Structure 1
Amino acid sequence: MFKNVMVYRIGEGWSPSLSDAESALQGQRFTECGATQDKSVGWAEPRGQAHGPLIESIGGHWIAKLVIESKAVPGNVVRKKLDEQVAEIEASTGRKPGKKEKRDMQDEILLSLLPQAFARQSSVLVWLDMQARRLVLNAGSQGKADEAVSALLKALPGLNIALLQTTTTPQAAMTEWLLAPNPEDWPADLCVERECTLKATGEDAASIRYVRHHLATEDVRKHVTEGKLPTQLALSWDGRVAFVLTETLQLKKVQFLDGVMDASGTDKSEDRFDADVALSTGLLSPLLDSLIAALGGEMEWGAQTTPASAEAVPAAADDPPF
């Protein structure tokens, strides 16, 4: 349900009732693009049942879904038609259209072709944890996350959101974990797995990606001490959830490990939506708590972290740690 996680802090002072939030989202309900509309953004039923609520509350966790539909006309098609129209004007009048006229012609061509363009839809699942005052987005890119944040701020008056920031940057922490002498030095409940991306800074910006590779090696440690810093690192939490942590505190490729679904005791006759939400929030909530603690705790609202690239990389020890 939440495969790519981005976490925000919900500011104090915003505590609407579920019915008030539902009414607010109803005013921004999703509708498909019109014939000459290139984009439409709005809220749809997260359970997937037509005319259902736009916010579902499962175990006190609020779940909503933002739908983004867009239509695009290939640029080469627009340019070809524009060239044809320009050539016709030159042939019939003997003059070349100016820049403004060509821009207006291009806009008209695009408008005429939009009804024939195929629409593409994507969605962002939104989780509002009002008790922990966290907003969690299932967004694979910053662009989609920004769409969801903008839509939330537009629909919900008084809502204040900021990216969650930790005292220790993810990159600094990942660097420390890769240089740790023993797995016992890793944070409680977290385990470094077998995938990592290291990237140098500066003009060179060389990068190395390890996949299905044991990372507790002198080779990895040497690259880190030479200045290649981790931008992504595969981790597992409590033997139940695997994910890839990024330098910007995104969790990618989130998956529940073998046995978690069986251990949940989910009744097959139960509504899968409720069960999936309960399982996801029940595991991701303590995972996020553990991860934030491992990164030194959360910074105060409005505070800024030091860029990871500015933090010192530990010097190489005389004896290899592994």
Structure 2
Amino acid sequence: MILSPPSRYPTPRNFMFKSASFFRIASDFVLPPLEALEEALQASRFMPCGATQPESSGWVAPRGNKSSALVEAVGRQVIMQLCTERRPLPASAVKDAVDERIEKYKQETGRDRVGAKIKKEIKEEVILDLLPRAFTKRSSTTLWIDPVNKFLVVDTGSLTGADKVVSHLVDVLSEMPGAGPGISVKPVQTSLSAAVAMAHWLASREAPYRFTVDRDCELKMPDDQKSTVRYSRHTLEIDEVAEHIAAGKVPTQLAMTWNDRVSFVLTDSAQIRKIKLLDIVLDGVQENGKDDDGFDTDA
């Protein structure tokens, strides 16, 4: 399996993708007109959590506060960004408050035991009381839609996180007036699994064309014990690595570089993490004098 970055990668410089989860879009999907898509996203624009709201999600401008547009188009590609705000409550704080109220309830009612229904009601009351005092945390996830080649890329190394973003995208598209076939996506399937491909590259000491294997790797035994070997900042062109693979260990993470331009970590689920542009790319951007607010499509 070779995951070659496209020659024109539509990434805003001010929020370079750090991870990538890849999905294949069903062939019958047609991207709505950008004006209609913008209007639909505006209706689901991000709003901060209310005082007793544990979580809120909505669409924000990919360029940040310097732009009000929620849809950015680069050529025939589309960039969008979902923002999520949470009010996390420490489980220990909730438990302590619930225990305290249950004890108070026992004293006031003279009961020795409290039923499950009452405990549930007390816990709900505690959460409603604590939420307004909880600090909020925000995170944003960028997605890239390629309607021509039917690809969707989500800036996360977590399938759970990617599924959440995809769900919001499905919702907003399905609610558009006169919506055609809804967007249907599934994780990209390759003819050769990422784990098998990485094992071959390591054992043969030969990476695909324009790729190099770097100095970080994780090998794991696919059994109940899941014994693990990790190499960090260590050459992988040694017999020991091949011996681990021959013994049955499977590569689950492998650091690589594409074309001396982009470094990343490939996982056994075919996700890419820790994406980083190397100096040769950044120097070229500076020499071209590109504006920080612009989209760098040549990385």
* TM-score normalised to structure 2 length: 0.87
2:246 paired residue number? 225
In 2, are the aligned partners of 1:266 and 1:275 still within 8 Å (CA)?
Answer: no
Q: Deviations over 1:102-138 (max 9, x none)?
A: 1111101111111111111001011112222211111
1:202 aligns with 2:219: no
Question: 2:60·2:83 contact (CA, 8 Å) conserved in 1?
Answer: yes
CA contact (8 A) 1:199 1:207 kept: yes
- The 1:50/1:107 distance shift into structure 2, 3 A limit, reads farther
Q: Which has the bigger relative contact order, CA under 8 A and spacing at least 6?
A: 2
Is the Cα contact below 8 Å between 2:21 and 2:158 reproduced in 1? no
Contact (CA 8 Å) 2:51, 2:131: kept in 1 or not? yes
Aligned: 1:75 with 2:91: yes
Mapped partners of 2:189, 2:278: distance in 1: 27
Aligned residue for 1:124, secondary structure, equals strand
The residue identity in structure 2 corresponding to 1:160 is S
What is the match of residue 120 of structure 1? Answer: 137
Pairwise CA distance, 1:224:
0.7
For residue 189 of structure 1, the aligned residue among 189, 210, 214 is 210
1:118-267 map, 5 Å: 118-157=135-174, 158-180=182-204, 182-183=205-206, 186-264=207-285, 267=288
Distance 2:225 2:97 in 1: 43
Q: CA RMSD in A?
A: 1.7
CA distance in 1, matches of 2:94, 2:41: 36
Q: 1:272 to 1:58 in 2, by over 3 A?
A: farther
1:251-300 deviations in Å (ceiling 9; x for gaps): 111111221122346644x4323234x24xxx4xxxxxxxxxxxxxxxxx
The residue identity in structure 2 corresponding to 1:212 is: R
Matching residue's letter, 2:162:
A
Q: Kindly report which structure 2 residues correspond to 1:258-277, keeping only aligned pairs within 5 A, or say none.
A: 258-264=279-285, 267-268=288-289, 270-276=290-296
What residue ranges of structure 1 are gaps of 5+ in the alignment?
A: 284-322
Taking a change above 3 Å as real, the CA distance of residues 273 and 125 of structure 1, as seen in their structure-2 partners, is: farther
CA shift in 2, pair 1:265/1:109, >3 Å: closer
Report if the CA contact (8 A) 1:44-1:54 is conserved.
yes
SS of the residue aligned with 1:272?
Answer: coil
Give how far 1:18 is off: 1.3
Normalising by the residue count of structure 1, what TM-score does the alignment of the two structures yield?
A: 0.81
Residue 314 of structure 1 corresponds to none
For residues 44 and 228 of structure 1, what CA distance do their matches in structure 2 show? 43
Between the two proteins, the alignment pairs up a number of residues equal to 275
* Distance (Å, rounded) in 1 between the aligned partners of 2:250 and 2:49: 44
1-structure distance, mates of 2:104, 2:53: 28
**Partner secondary structure for residue 259 of structure 1:** helix
Residue 2 in structure 1 maps to residue 17 in structure 2: yes
Which one-letter code corresponds to 2:196 in the other structure? A
Q: How far did residue 30 of structure 1 move?
A: 0.6
SS of equivalent residue, structure 2 residue 213: strand
Structure 1 equivalent of residue 44 of structure 2:
28
Q: CA deviation at 1:51?
A: 6.5
In structure 2, C-alpha distance between the alignment counterparts of 1:130 and 1:264, rounded to whole Å: 27
In the TM superposition, residue 2 of structure 1 has moved relative to its aligned partner by 0.6
Kept after mapping to 2: 8 A contact 1:37/1:114: yes
3-state DSSP of counterpart to 1:135: strand
Residue in 2 that maps onto 1:312: none
- Preserved CA contact (<8 Å) 1:58 1:274: no
Q: Which residue of 1 aligns with 2:28?
A: 13
Q: Which amino acid aligns with 1:80?
A: D
Structure-2 separation of matches of 1:31 and 1:135:
25
Q: Cα distance, 1:142 vs. partner?
A: 2.3
SS at 1:14 equivalent: coil
Deviation at 1:240, TM superposition (A): 1.4
